[in-house]
Chains A and B, each alone.
Chain A
């Protein structure tokens, strides 16, 4: 009896000690980055701190992981190439498993205790949750959520979009579809359908897409949500077949999109699938296999530009394993490079490195070159949608190949 009680007392004391460690650990510590080169001795001044949260174990970890590797790789590459104005970049990052409360905790920790000047988020959940705080704290913020509501500086002055909004992506894809229809020599107008993720993310581009379609005389596209966790999308596809759609726009992540494509093949359904950016990646090809041939995708971060080559070569050199997801790796790399370009320019202009100054710099510095991965990214004081064009790609022989140049949404 006594031993048992002793054991549990010991456990209780260990618990108390552990909580104490948490208290001590709350002080700023050396950065927690995975892999990569250690930063060299700071020569031009104190390190520049950048905060980031990644999804490495949660619902979107399959794309969150290569994205995170791209971001970390860019920082390492930049540091190895002289840093920014002689100062090293320090990335302070953590996995938050797509749990919004954890994202908020980490954000508060990085801002108050580590003193980061800019922040890189990930998903719609955390971007939405933090958009008020970053305005209060004056922290410029980029993420992988391309919702149109983040582009208006009057509402969200510190959010910056580095890719076309989901709405713009849909419009560009529809533009391509119309051109493709005419190029195939078909008369009349095509019919469109959406096969979307059953969530606000999935519904995000629909209103604007439908408006564009209607403005071009096309019938209101059929909206078909695909239930999360579905093992078979045949019922949804029969609805699309009955409707007679010619082009099906997939606003979804790769796994359900791949399932839809495979089911459509089984059903012998003759449609052209057009993927939006979250399924237009290598993961889709991996999952759908041979059935992915001919699928077209809107790829905001083209893995065919010079900037992409630099990124991919660096990855090869350092042996970074991102699971073959070239375009997602490049996405993370390029997004971080845009943020850092703002920092670099702020320092070059001789301004103090504060969030507000970085934001002003981003708005006024003019086009940022990403080496052909995206069109030159330009922000303004009235518009934070930095990129409004992308290239359409098609899966040919198991790889994404560009089939157009940059198409703009306006």
Chain B
């Protein structure tokens, strides 16, 4: 029983991080139909910028984090303006490839600036362990979960009550109608990329504290985004959250209960992905796309 609780807690804590990474992805897709293969690299940028502001420049850590996140948001907007804007109207394959090319380019730039040796993460999350429902869990994971939850609540409020948020939803729903209502679609895209960069940065910072250092390892989480968003629905924010939690839990239980030699933990999310695509491609909460000829 204790093992079950332990696995559930770990699964939820991990799932929260996946959800955070997936959230930015969903936002970009929702507002501009772009699949961002460079999401992992956005995580990295957030982590490296925080490392720079806190360790290299020596700012007090909350200030450093805020500066880093803002910088990441600016970079997100720049990417949108320089790389995605010229590709409006191009077929899906081109857009996918350009974000793939972007991820490669960003990796190279990050490596060129900071080098590939992992840097020690600034420790601003408490590192001790507490016991919850009879299972041990690191306090830093609880913080990660709490932060992720706060971000979700903030974003939900943003989308529901703020002007920009409603504009994003309008553009996601029907670009033409939004344009005719006077909503600046270009501004909405910039906002979407900025928010995606912010959520990715926060995710990157959390991963940095979990891994103990900032290194390319963080970007590998980017691949796991796909099972999460497909499960939850590519254009659904609550879907990203639920999807993240489910994938986190599934990975946890697979790793903990199946015979370890099989090494299923790695491939289980992708098998789930295939099954969902075959049975219910729009995921749990995604919208059915009705194609009109």
Contact = CB atoms under 8 A, between A and B. Distances in A.
Interface centre among B211, B220, B260, by most A CB within 10 Å? B260
Contacts of B120: 286-287, 289
B260 A287 contact: no
Interface residues of B, number: 45
A288 B212 contact: yes
B116 A61 contact: yes
A283 B251 CA distance: 27
Contacts of B217: 229, 255
Given A56-B116, A61-B116, A259-B211, A227 B263 contact: yes
B111 interface: yes
A305 interface: no
B184 interface: no
B101 interface: no
A65 B137 contact: no
B265 A235 contact: yes
Interface string B131-150: 00000111001000000000
Interface in A206-246: 222-225, 227-236, 238-239, 242
A276 to B, nearest CB: 18
Nearest to A202: B263
Contacts of A232: 10, 13-14, 210, 252
Contact of A229 (B107, B220, B252): B220
A137 to B, nearest CB: 31
A265 B137 CA distance: 10
A234 B260 contact: no
Contacts of A287: 118, 120, 211-213, 215
27 contacts: A57-B116, A66-B117, A223-B261, A224-B260, A225-B266, A227-B251, A227-B263, A227-B265, A228-B266, A230-B255, A230-B266, A231-B210, A235-B253, A235-B265, A238-B3, A259-B210, A259-B211, A262-B138, A266-B136, A266-B138, A268-B136, A287-B120, A287-B212, A289-B123, A289-B212, A290-B127, A325-B117
Interface of A: 56-57, 59, 61-62, 65-66, 198, 222-225, 227-236, 238-239, 242, 255, 258-259, 262-263, 265-268, 283, 286-290, 322-325
Interface of B: 3, 6-7, 10, 13-14, 17, 107-108, 111, 115-118, 120, 123, 127, 129, 136-138, 141, 207, 210-213, 215-217, 220-221, 223-224, 251-256, 260-261, 263, 265-266
Closest 5 CB pairs of A and B: A235-B255, A323-B117, A227-B266, A235-B256, A229-B220
